[in-house]
Structure 1
Amino acid sequence: MGILEDGPNGGFRGKVGSVYGYNLNGKCVIRGARRKSTKPPTPAQLAHREKIKLSSVFCRWIKPIVNFGYQFEETKNSGRGKFQLAQQRVFKNAIDVDATNKPFINLEKVQVFVGELMSPEGVQARWEEGLLKLSWIPNPKYKDSLFKLNLALVSLDREVDLRMAIADAAEGECAVNIPVFEREKFDYHVYIGFWDTYHGAFSNSAYCGVI
């Protein structure tokens, strides 16, 4: 279905009959239907498709975290949802290739929370006395109790875990009970980020390593 823009004599976007309308650099353009290419894909095209698939699968895996961590980013990007924004960021920033040129998700580069606040610095995570102990350098700008710390745990083998407002950002350290760790031990990648609970804003997440 085509949608008229600027009245009946204006351009349109979408499909009308056998043609498509769209806006290109401020100009209304009409084209015919694209023909499916019969040429075999190039290695670069195959690699591009593999990266798109990889980022999509990964973002679906961490979707509960994405829905939380990209909620404020979504409000600034009309037409693109949380999942699409997360997928785009993973595709651009968090995919590397191994020695065989096979793409993989570099979990150190993944940002599970995104926003305009300053990210935590000097972050550390360790498993001690049955608790996940986190530490970071308190930021003087975030000394009000409205600024909280969020925690995300990502494993490629087990379900993800999200903990919201686990401590005041000004505290500089906290200990979190993770019941699943008491039942079985496997690797979790740890991310933390600040949250302005009053104005509704996050920082980009900071990667704390693997526990």
Structure 2
Amino acid sequence: MGIIRGGILGGFRNKTGSVIGSSWRTLDVIKGLPKLSGKAPTQSQLEQQAKFGLVTGFLSWISNLVAVGYRSLSGVETEMNVAVAYHLKNAVTGVYPNYELNYGKLMYSRGKLDWPLEYSVATAPNASLAFTWKHEGEDYEFMSATDLVTVLVYNPEKDRFVRLVNAATRSEQELNLQLPVAFAGDTVHCYLSFKSTVRKDLVSSTIYMGQMVVLN
């Protein structure tokens, strides 16, 4: 049974006949019941399903970063939906069924906050990484000394992420990240981003800092 809200012209929720009413992100939504199909999926559908599974499976592990990093782009869509659409278009390589992600195209955040003009990452003993960036110039709308820094490292061999979220300010110009000792000898992918402390939806796009071999 459907329940009408706000009179006959208002939205409704639950099932009524062949439609379902619900509320989503302040919108009243009416959807038809899905139709069951006995047809086998087409080649195009199989390819899209494989790409979608690859991207969503990867991004689900960093959903907290995506929720912040795509907030300004989401509109009526969820942050994850916007991020998935970007990666389906830009970050999937290969031929079905052997799709892979181009880790250099990973963007857990996209925004207008300025990148530093110089940045780098270096390996250090005992499975640690040293991230550095240069901060100079006056604060303005898209750059502040108080911007918060997040670093992310992904190890494809072990399928593990390590992150430090809002762990330093732009003005500090450096951040050390301790990785698990078991990462020693593995190649990891490194990322850096900035988030404003003034506007909660203002972030930088993700900076891909390249691959590093972790030292013992």
Q: TM-score, normalised by structure 1?
A: 0.73
| AA of the residue aligned to 2:91 | A
Contact 2:73–2:79 at 8 Å: present in 1 too? no
Cα deviation per residue 1:162-199 (whole Å; 9 max; x = unaligned)?
1134443245x425141524873312210001121232
How high is the sequence identity, in percent, across the aligned residues? Answer: 23
- Aligned CA-pair RMSD: 3.6
Measure, in 1, the Cα distance between the counterparts of 2:137 and 2:65.
25
Cα deviation per residue 1:23-71 (whole Å; 9 max; x = unaligned)?
xxxxx998864432222222111000111111121122x23xx303422
- SS of the residue corresponding to residue 70 of structure 1 reads helix
Q: Is 1:193–2:193 an aligned residue pair?
A: yes
Please give the residue correspondences for 1:12-27 in structure 2 after superposition, counting only pairs within 5 Å: 15-20=15-20
Q: TM-score, normalised by structure 2?
A: 0.71
In structure 2, runs of 5+ residues without a counterpart are 23-27
Q: Is 1:207–2:204 an aligned residue pair?
A: no
In structure 1, runs of 5+ residues without a counterpart are 23-27
Contact 1:70–1:86 at 8 Å: present in 2 too? no
Measure, in 1, the Cα distance between the counterparts of 2:210 and 2:69.
25
The one of 65, 83, 92 aligned to 1:95 = 92
**Change in 2 beyond 3 A, CA 1:139/1:196:** farther
**Change in 2 beyond 3 A, CA 1:73/1:32:** closer
Contact 1:121–1:206 at 8 Å: present in 2 too? no
Contact 2:123–2:130 at 8 Å: present in 1 too? yes
Q: Is 1:125–2:121 an aligned residue pair?
A: yes
| AA of the residue aligned to 1:109 | K
Please give the residue correspondences for 1:58-207 in structure 2 after superposition, counting only pairs within 5 Å: 58-60=58-60, 62-63=61-62, 66-71=63-68, 73-74=70-71, 77=74, 80-98=77-95, 102-129=98-125, 131-138=128-135, 140=137, 142=139, 144-156=144-156, 157-170=158-171, 173-181=173-181, 184-200=184-200, 201-207=202-208
**Change in 2 beyond 3 A, CA 1:29/1:128:** closer
Q: CA deviation at 1:119?
A: 3.4
